[in-house]
Amino acid sequence: MTDISGTNKGSSLADSLACEHGFVSTASILHADLDAFYASVEQRDDPALRGRPVIVGGGVVLAASYEAKAKGIYTTMNGRDARRVCPEAAVVQPRMEAYSKASKAVYEIFNDTAPVVEGISIDEAFLDVAGMEHIGGTPPEIAARLRSRVLAEAGLPISVGVARTKFLAKVASGASKPDGLLVVEPDREAEFLHPLPIEALWGVGKVTTAKLNGMGIRTVGDVARTSRVRLAGVIGESAAAHLLDLANGRDPRPVSPRERRKSIGAQSAFPRGSRDRSEVDSLAAALVDRTARRLRAAERACRTVSIGLRFGDFSRASRARTLAFPTDQTETILAAVRELFDASREEIAEKDLTLIGISLGNLEAADTVQMELPLSENDRLVENSALDQAVDDVRARFGEGVIKRASMIDADQGVPVPTLPD
């Protein structure tokens, strides 16, 4: 672990930013990120796996222990390739209920540690500990105690970054892995950030990296020293402004607790490979069944339907459609999802699809669902609602897999990836 800290003996960039813009001028934001989460849970629960390379997932690598990562295994890697690279690895099937339970236990510690917690995923969160010195100690002390509690009470290693901004805290936690604590004091931000490669900046992928490298820009410091006009000429005005802000320590976003989820979603991962239209449709139908059931269980209806795609080259794509009326009906949602996938056929055909996700947003109370004209259509909607309820009841009583669509029988539905609770 490297602790970047120090005493400010003069004016710093953070001080000037605080004066000019009212930004937080102390390192009081924590980014806590569980290490190799799925694999760590498996190693915690099975002592025989500790110290060994562990791969979670068969067809596709969902997670790899640090012992496996040291052998060249990475997330989304084809399972067959992973076993060839590291034949001594223990391959375990994912246990989503165990991961969700572990996540809940860790979040209880998060919420007991800080008054403001912003969950990002099931294994990471931002915590704002500003003003807690008299009751909890300094931010580094709070972070150290948080790590000790997560290990002692949840049995899991966790890395924590402490900094003035959310961006810097997240970069710091990544730099501290595995199982570390890194503090970036405001007067040491440039020293920490500027030597890092440009890929450390949020939003910089392969395409932007290639463009910036073509300009001779390879580090965050190079970005910070480049004029906005020159950057905008290559990557556009918006991207240039965004990268310059991050490279110069500007990130005014506060840690914001999530009240009620504004969307309900599900996603599945699977090995790289081309998939025909019927395969994609089966995957989509399985996800819609899951999300629509959760929507009804929450007594909510959605107005917006979105899909998310991830490809073998780690690029992503998303599409969304707003419905005329809020709905909680499986078939209505599925029809919208199919339209969105139809619009993405060309991209899906060109790249290896490794993950698809469905998100239902713009949520309203279920009693806002309206019946549409003509009356014959209303009758169909009533029948669909009754069918949805009957299927929900059967699955609740006998299990999720007791009823399947014909298209989903013997179909590869991927591996479900858990998300934050609704």
Structure tokens at 113: 């540690």
Sequence-ordered list of residues with C-beta below 8 angstroms from that of 3, at least 6 positions apart, any chain? 140, 181, 182, 183
Determine which of 61-75, 157-171, 250-264 has the lowest per-residue pLDDT on average: 250-264
Q: What residue ranges define each of the domains in the chain, with the CATH number in brackets?
A: 6-190 (3.30.70.270), 194-247 (1.10.150.20), 263-417 (3.30.1490.100)
**pLDDT at residue 395, as a whole number:** 53
Sorting pLDDT into bands at 50, 70 and 90, what band is 410? low
Average pLDDT in the 324-328 region?
A: 87
Q: Helix 277-297 and helix 330-342: axis angle, to 10°? A: 140
One of 124, 191, 237, 383 is an active-site residue; which one? Answer: 124
Active site residue 124: yes
- Is the pLDDT higher at 48 or at 346? 48
Query: DSSP 3-state assignment of 219?
Result: strand
Average pLDDT in the 336-352 region?
A: 85
Give the separation between CA 344 and CA 340, rounded to whole angstroms: 7
Determine which of 66-75, 161-170, 273-282, 284-293 has the lowest per-residue pLDDT on average: 273-282
Give the separation between CA 230 and CA 261, rounded to whole angstroms: 40
Express each pLDDT in 350-366 by its tens digit: 777 888 889 998 888 87
Q: Is the pLDDT of residue 6 over 60?
A: no
Are 161 and 139 contacting, i.e. CB atoms less than 8 angstroms apart? no
The reported pTM is 0.69
Express each pLDDT in 113-146 by its tens digit: 999 999 988 899 999 999 998 888 999 999 999 9
